[in-house]
A and B are shown apart, each in its own frame.
Chain A
Amino acid sequence: MSCYLPYASTHSIQEAVVGIHFQGEVSSETVRQALDRARSELRNVFPHSNETRKQGIKIDQGNLPPQFVPSRLVGFELSRVKANARPACVLRLSEDALTVNFLEYKNWRATLEDSQKYINTVLPCLKLATTPVMAFSLRYIDRYTFDGPHDEARAELLLQGTSAYMTSNCFRVGPLWHCHSGWLEILDPENHILNQLNIGSAHVDRVSTVTIDHNAICQLGLPRQTAESIFRPPSGEKAGFEKILNLLHDRNGEVLRDMLLPEMAKQIGLQA
């Protein structure tokens, strides 16, 4: 009987993205310092690097020709690639966010440790007093491919009809559907978690594919203006990086357990 297969056999995770988000843009000078340090410290982990520049253009509604604003450095990408030249891991600073994209997923412990290490390398160069950290985020993109004729693909072969995150319509329309939702979880009076959950079934590379894209962003009530306050918050402060990221990871597991059929959840190491 045809069934859904996790994207990479033992894992359905196609990509995990860990991020910290700043209040406002990081200056070009700061980006340069961060890039130089990251290139130097993480050369063995990320052999490739790429600058991101921003080019402005002013267009007059009259007859004057467009004017170009000089380009400036707004971010960078450090990457390691797989044997097929696709990215395996990317450290990215882009205007107001520092993210680590993991496209070769081992397990959560390694993902958390590596992201802490990479972020910690860049943070000392950032001027957190003027651009404090306002949020931590964790995004998981899970994917399942249908092992059978496209027109036989059905949501009920992968997902539970009773799930709080799915509409009943998705279970009766056939192989193509999507269901996008979002909600805010009040973690405590200071910290909130914004969840964005986009689930969809579509053709990817001519294969019927279900994508579960869960982006969880913890908005910090108190801006973090030092690296110390991000990784080692004062006692009594609940929202340290590691603790929040572990929480976001647990929340993602809960969402998937609610959505996936039990045997599909078990296949990827999510027990009831």
Chain B
Amino acid sequence: MMSHFTSTAVDYPTSMGAPLAFTADADLALNFKPLRMVHTLVEATEPLGGGMIGKTSQWTLSENMPLSRLEPSPTHGLLVQLAKLRQVPKDERWPGAVWPDAKAFEDADLFIRCLPLASTPKPEISLADDGEINFLWATADAYVDLGFYGTRSFSYFARDREGRRFHGENVQASEGLPCEIVALLAAGSNVADFPSPSR
């Protein structure tokens, strides 16, 4: 007697991150050498989700599978990076450089918590030798440079793909990035896409 198994192997870009799901026949599917196997299903098993109830009980749905399971939080990543800079021992700091004071680190911490990181890339954070904590975005669409000296505010300079320049001074750290700069960093967006936090 012939028993019938069917497995699915999906050729999935490696840039898409971690495997989505594995079933009991993952070992079997791993033998499909030409494919970068990450996702297997067995037809005979239960559907992944969306079991139907009531009038439509004769059919089932597969789940609308998310892609982001294991992606780390950008906010947490930046705060950890800032905390590491803050904790650099005195004997490991650059000789002759002015080290940012505690207020500058507090301002930078507050600023990170106001960044719309769901739609903008993470900035590079670095320390300048004059006591500045610098935030830099250098993307294909925009260049944005700003820094904190512990004054509760920051100034910024930005340039878009066409070379248009944007300046701002004395922006409060608690206000975060101005909408026009957020729109520059979120490619293909405009200022109206970024009202105050909105679900």
Structural contact, A194 and B50, CB atoms closer than 8 A: yes
Band of interface residues on A: 35 or more
Structural contact, B7 and A57, CB atoms closer than 8 A: yes
B73 within 8 A of A: yes
- Chain A proximity of B70: nearest CB distance (Å): 7
Central interface residue in B59, B68, B112, B189, by most chain A CB within 10 Å: B68
Question: Which chain A positions have C-beta within 8 A of B65?
Answer: 17, 94, 99
Question: Which chain A positions have C-beta within 8 A of B117?
Answer: 8-11
| Complex Cα gap A196–B195 (Å) | 30
Question: Which chain B positions have C-beta within 8 A of A15?
Answer: 66-68
| Complex Cα gap A65–B54 (Å) | 44
Structural contact, B66 and A139, CB atoms closer than 8 A: yes
Structural contact, B49 and A55, CB atoms closer than 8 A: no
Question: Which chain A positions have C-beta within 8 A of B32?
Answer: 55
Q: Give the residue name and chain of the B residue nearest to A107 (CB).
A: B198
- Chain B proximity of A256: nearest CB distance (Å): 8
Contact residues, B184-199 vs A (CB, 8 A): 186, 189, 193-199
B5 within 8 A of A: yes
Q: A9-B112, A84-B121 known; A215 and B63 CB under 8 Å?
A: yes
Q: Give the residue name and chain of the B residue nearest to A14 (CB).
A: B68
Question: Which chain A positions have C-beta within 8 A of B66?
Answer: 15, 17, 101, 139, 141, 213
Structural contact, B11 and A219, CB atoms closer than 8 A: no
- Chain B proximity of A18: nearest CB distance (Å): 8
| Complex Cα gap A74–B70 (Å) | 26
Contact residues, A214-272 vs B (CB, 8 A): 215, 217, 219, 221, 249, 253, 256, 267-270
- Chain A proximity of B21: nearest CB distance (Å): 12
Mark the stretch among B74-82, B98-106, B163-171 that contacts chain A: B74-82
| Complex Cα gap A24–B60 (Å) | 9
| Complex Cα gap A95–B3 (Å) | 23
Interface string of B78-120 (1 = CB under 8 A from A): 0100000000000000000000000000000000111111110
| Complex Cα gap A13–B116 (Å) | 11
Central interface residue in B13, B49, B75, by most chain A CB within 10 Å: B75
Central interface residue in A6, A50, A106, by most chain B CB within 10 Å: A106
- Chain B proximity of A128: nearest CB distance (Å): 15
Question: Which chain A positions have C-beta within 8 A of B54?
Answer: 184, 192, 219
Structural contact, B59 and A134, CB atoms closer than 8 A: yes
A170 within 8 A of B: no
Structural contact, A21 and B61, CB atoms closer than 8 A: yes
What total count of A-B pairs have CB within 8 Å?
A: 208
Classify the secondary structure of A's interface with B: strand
- Chain A proximity of B179: nearest CB distance (Å): 12
Residue among A54, A207, A221 making CB contact with B55, cutoff 8 Å? A221
Residue among A60, A110, A268 making CB contact with B2, cutoff 8 Å? A60
Q: Give the residue name and chain of the A residue nearest to B109 (CB).
A: A147
Question: Which chain B positions have C-beta within 8 A of A184?
Answer: 53-54
Structural contact, B118 and A196, CB atoms closer than 8 A: no
A199 within 8 A of B: no
| Complex Cα gap A23–B58 (Å) | 10
- Chain A proximity of B45: nearest CB distance (Å): 14
| Complex Cα gap A268–B66 (Å) | 21
Structural contact, B61 and A134, CB atoms closer than 8 A: yes
Question: Which chain B positions have C-beta within 8 A of A79?
Answer: 13, 16
Contact residues, A31-61 vs B (CB, 8 A): 48, 50-61
Question: Which chain B positions have C-beta within 8 A of A123?
Answer: none
B128 within 8 A of A: no
Residue among B15, B55, B118 making CB contact with A81, cutoff 8 Å? B15
| Complex Cα gap A83–B71 (Å) | 14
9 new A-B contacts, CB < 8 A, other than A7-B118, A269-B198, are A11-B118, A13-B118, A61-B2, A85-B15, A94-B65, A97-B61, A105-B119, A134-B59, A143-B73
A-B contact pairs, 9 of them (CB 8 A): A14-B71, A21-B50, A54-B8, A87-B67, A94-B62, A107-B194, A134-B59, A215-B49, A268-B197
